[in-house]
Structure 1
Amino acid sequence: MPPRLFSFSMLIGLGAVLGHLYLYRRLVRELVHGRVVRLLAIVFLTAMGLLMGMRRTLLGALPEETDRLVKVAMYSWMGVALCLVMALGLTDLSRGILAVARRLRQRRASEAPALAQPTPPVDAERRKFLGRAVAGGALVAGGGLATYGHWRAFVAPPLVTELAIKIPKLPRALDGFTIVQLTDVHVGPFIRRRFMDELVRHANALEPDLVAITGDLVDGDVPILGDAVAALRNLRSRYGSYFVTGNHEYYAGDVAWVEFLQSLDIQTLRNRHVRIGDAGASLDLVGVDDWSGWRRTAQKGYDLDQALAGRDADRAAVLLAHQPANFKQAAERGVDLQISGHTHGGQLPPMTLFIDYAWEHAVGLYRHQDSHIYVSRGCGFWGPPMRVGSPPELVKLVLTT
């Protein structure tokens, strides 16, 4: 396992252990009564904590359908647990602030003997009742947040983001050219054929000239997920659909997926460009492999030099790249617009709060010199089947002169 991935896995494992210990202390001890019920709660929390911490080791050894069911249970609970930890954490933080404020008032009162008041006796039963009430309120709030997040990610239609991007080198005949972006769908344990059929229906309703699929389409193998991905055969656009790999394609087997997508009439741009339009009015559509190619499979991976080789620099260029890294270098090489994903906009708190610190171009539209990049929040989700603070989106980019 690469060092970066190992460190990430260890961090998730440590977080899972600490999070479940916190849930035991704040929920189980406060709300669960009876030795048998409490024992069952402890067993459940322990099992889920271990499963999250050791998921890469355990899940690969399970039969296909068992593996899927375990992933559904694990990732669903991961999202619920995260929402519960956040709700409990906020209530505990509020209680801590109030406690500090109360102690400061008592200290000021003690420094003024004439105004000092006797400290009231501690009511143990009242404290126990308040602790249970706070834990119960956090349970309701966390459960409500998890329910909303599931609805937003899995049930509600994706939001449509439509933007006009000015490209001075665009021929006038292509003014108004539309690109619909699908990215970070993550077809896998949760996202199956029905979800994909609906996604395709929404994409077709935008009447694109071209469809760009910018990676992380799948989380699994072709024999398992091929039927769901085959829904993309029904995408309709004037100039067709184009795909570039994301990091998750390399986990699943990039070569097999590229061949499968080719059978659906979806072209893959692997460090190359194609000319869209005709001799009188055209632009270059450039695609690069994800950086994970050389990290995971000893393939070349991202190679912008190869992708741009031989193109006419006077022609407008649109770059499809899964990750938003390297945008400034691409802009300085003559790329007018880069279309990316990968970040999910954070997907869930607290990641949504720190995503701008992790990525220079984290989500939305950015500009460097005369070039632009749009980083999509993605159409699906990874891990917990939830979206909070970063709803899924379909992106429609309208190119103008």
Structure 2
Amino acid sequence: MGNISILVIPAILGVLGGLHWYVWRRLVRETTAPGTAWRRLGTAVFVAGPVLILTAFVGARAGLPFWLVRVVSWPAYLWVAIALYLLLGVIVGEAVRPALAGWLRRRAERTSAAEQAPATAPATEPVSELVTVPGDAPAPDPTPDPTLAPAPAPGTASPAAPGGDAPAALSRRVFAARLVGGAAAAVAVGTVGYGTYGVLRGPRVKRVTVPLAKLPRSAHGYRIAVVSDVHLGPILGRGFTERVVATVNATQPDLIAVVGDLVDGSVEDLGSAAEPLAGLRARHGSFFVTGNHEYFSGVEQWTAYVQELGLRLLANERMELPAFDLAGVNDVTGESYNDGPDLAAALKDRDPSRTSVLLAHQPVFVDEAVRHGVDLQLSGHTHGGQLWPMNYVAELANPTVAGLERYGDTQLYVSRGAGAWGPPTRVGAPSDVTVVELASGQA
């Protein structure tokens, strides 16, 4: 493992540095003059960005004070999102720049041709004959002698010919670079700004109806509020938790399912941020299963703390509710901590004629759910991709990125999550708290 880290970390740093150099070259070097304040400012931003990112990633693990990690994390993670969209803008600009430069060149050539076209000679009036009066000096010739024209000063270049001269071509390239770079920067900042606002205002409620053949008629319309991927940490804190709790309680659910990745940090640093979860209210209570980030943040401390807040932990366990069985398994990351999922243990001795609902953080666990005849699995983990086009990357690792899909006799619902990991920003994957309404096949 150590040898892998030794090889992977330099590779990551190399890729990070190379991408920043590429974007800097397009947006700063090619649009500013050497030695100018704009060149120095742009270069400083592209140097500070990666340094802040590394500090934010490593800071908590290196023992930096939590307040300092919070201060660094805001600009660092926002820069991650901005840099992503700057990179995409520059890539698109590679196709736009030549076309724009070509259009400017053709426009300049047409203008030059119009200026050099011979003008129609004006009508001339008769010129009177020059008469010399005795004693008078001859009239001066108004035509200047070309041999008397002043020579250019030493070291001064002659005026460039209009049309295809090098200085004009250089000016067109700089203009095209500035236009494309400015557009890329404006779109990137605007996109990240709007996506950040969408996260900080809190998740919106999404409603999904799931028909279940074995669900009794008495449970028709039963509402489960699914909360996933809150990711409390150095950016999203207590105020965000309060907004999530208020959103959930406003739906008046019958049951609340918190399906992992609640935190990114220790109980010591984030216990106060998670405390409002004690205010969750539902007729049949609130339940919790671990996600991968709980294992990175001190899983034993967090599973104990959430129970103190009133959430019922389902660690490879099942609870028999009046209308169906509710089971929960540990996250698959727990396998590396000798605390992995065990669905067989959770479903042991259950009545297969009853509907079963499973809480499992990662959608990939659906294969196991299908093998054990689970009717509905509720998951999170993917964030719906969080930042477009990362949803296409998420599709490579997950059977479902967001929404409801069927696998055999098992239905899988994946929430996009209530919060955000890393950048407090979402683009193309709005945050949500999902109210899953169960529909009886007998109704």
Confirm or deny a common fold (TM above 0.5): yes
Matches within 5 A, 1:155-166: 155=201, 157-166=202-211
Instruction: Identify the residue that residue 206 of structure 1 maps to in structure 2.
Output: 251
Instruction: Identify the residue that residue 374 of structure 1 maps to in structure 2.
Output: 413
Instruction: Identify the residue that residue 116 of structure 1 maps to in structure 2.
Output: none
- SS for the counterpart of 2:256 is strand
**2:178 is aligned with 1:177:** no
Q: Name whichever of 136-145 and 182-191 sits farther off.
A: 136-145
Instruction: Identify the residue that residue 291 of structure 1 maps to in structure 2.
Output: 332
Structure 1 segments, 4+ long, off by >6 Å, are 2-8, 97-101
- Once the two structures are TM-superposed, the CA of residue 210 in structure 1 deviates from its matched residue by 0.2
Q: Name whichever of 5-14 and 158-167 sits farther off.
A: 5-14
- SS for the counterpart of 2:364 is coil
* Counterpart AA for 2:331: D
TM-score normalised by L of structure 2: 0.79
**2:191 is aligned with 1:150:** no
Q: Equivalent pairs: percent with the same residue? A: 39
Structure 2 gaps, min length 5? 104-162
Could you say if the C-alpha distance between residues 287 and 231 of structure 1 is closer, same or farther in structure 2, counting changes exceeding 3 Å?
A: same
Instruction: Identify the residue that residue 145 of structure 2 maps to in structure 1.
Output: none
Q: Is residue 215–residue 247 contact of structure 1 (8 Å, CA) maintained in 2?
A: yes
* Counterpart AA for 1:347: Q
* Counterpart AA for 1:141: V
**2:136 is aligned with 1:136:** no
In structure 2, how many angstroms separate the alpha carbons of the residues matched to 1:5 and 1:235? 41
Q: Name whichever of 380-389 and 161-170 sits farther off.
A: 161-170
Q: Deviations over 1:372-393 (max 9, x none)?
A: 1001111100011110011101
- Once the two structures are TM-superposed, the CA of residue 327 in structure 1 deviates from its matched residue by 0.8
Q: Deviations over 1:78-109 (max 9, x none)?
A: 112112222222222334678999xxxxxxxx
**2:49 is aligned with 1:48:** yes
Work out which of the residue numbers 301, 306, 310 in structure 2 matches 1:265. 310
Instruction: Identify the residue that residue 132 of structure 2 maps to in structure 1.
Output: none
Determine which structure has more spread, i.e. the larger CA radius of gyration: 2
Q: Name whichever of 132-141 and 86-95 sits farther off.
A: 86-95
Q: Is residue 12–residue 53 contact of structure 1 (8 Å, CA) maintained in 2?
A: no
Work out which of the residue numbers 340, 349, 360 in structure 2 matches 1:310. 349
TM-score normalised by L of structure 1: 0.87
- Cα RMSD, aligned residues only: 2.6
Structure 1 gaps, min length 5? 102-118
Q: Name whichever of 232-241 and 307-316 sits farther off.
A: 307-316
Instruction: Identify the residue that residue 360 of structure 1 maps to in structure 2.
Output: 399
Could you say if the C-alpha distance between residues 264 and 10 of structure 1 is closer, same or farther in structure 2, counting changes exceeding 3 Å?
A: farther
Work out which of the residue numbers 222, 230, 240 in structure 1 matches 2:267. 222
- SS for the counterpart of 1:220 is coil
In structure 2, how many angstroms separate the alpha carbons of the residues matched to 1:2 and 1:197? 41
In structure 2, how many angstroms separate the alpha carbons of the residues matched to 1:338 and 1:9? 36
- Once the two structures are TM-superposed, the CA of residue 3 in structure 1 deviates from its matched residue by 8.4
In structure 2, how many angstroms separate the alpha carbons of the residues matched to 1:237 and 1:5? 45
Q: Deviations over 1:322-366 (max 9, x none)?
A: 000131331231210000010111100220233323322221111
Q: Name whichever of 18-27 and 252-261 sits farther off.
A: 18-27
In structure 2, how many angstroms separate the alpha carbons of the residues matched to 1:196 and 1:131? 44
In structure 2, how many angstroms separate the alpha carbons of the residues matched to 1:177 and 1:364? 19
In structure 1, how many angstroms separate the alpha carbons of the residues matched to 2:403 and 2:8? 26
**2:26 is aligned with 1:26:** yes
In structure 2, how many angstroms separate the alpha carbons of the residues matched to 1:376 and 1:4? 33
Instruction: Identify the residue that residue 366 of structure 2 maps to in structure 1.
Output: 327
- Once the two structures are TM-superposed, the CA of residue 15 in structure 1 deviates from its matched residue by 3.8
In structure 2, how many angstroms separate the alpha carbons of the residues matched to 1:6 and 1:203? 44
Instruction: Identify the residue that residue 115 of structure 1 maps to in structure 2.
Output: none
- Once the two structures are TM-superposed, the CA of residue 213 in structure 1 deviates from its matched residue by 0.3
Q: Deviations over 1:306-327 (max 9, x none)?
A: 1111222111110000000131
Count of aligned pairs: 378
Q: Is residue 186–residue 218 contact of structure 1 (8 Å, CA) maintained in 2?
A: yes
Instruction: Identify the residue that residue 93 of structure 1 maps to in structure 2.
Output: 95
- Once the two structures are TM-superposed, the CA of residue 273 in structure 1 deviates from its matched residue by 0.6
Q: Is residue 17–residue 50 contact of structure 1 (8 Å, CA) maintained in 2?
A: no
Q: Is residue 341–residue 378 contact of structure 1 (8 Å, CA) maintained in 2?
A: yes
- SS for the counterpart of 1:201 is helix
- Once the two structures are TM-superposed, the CA of residue 18 in structure 1 deviates from its matched residue by 2.2
In structure 2, how many angstroms separate the alpha carbons of the residues matched to 1:126 and 1:8? 42
Q: Name whichever of 191-200 and 212-221 sits farther off.
A: 191-200
**2:250 is aligned with 1:250:** no
Q: Deviations over 1:187-213 (max 9, x none)?
A: 011111111111111111111000000
In structure 2, how many angstroms separate the alpha carbons of the residues matched to 1:2 and 1:328? 32
Q: Name whichever of 241-250 and 143-152 sits farther off.
A: 143-152
- SS for the counterpart of 1:187 is coil
Q: Is residue 324–residue 342 contact of structure 1 (8 Å, CA) maintained in 2?
A: yes
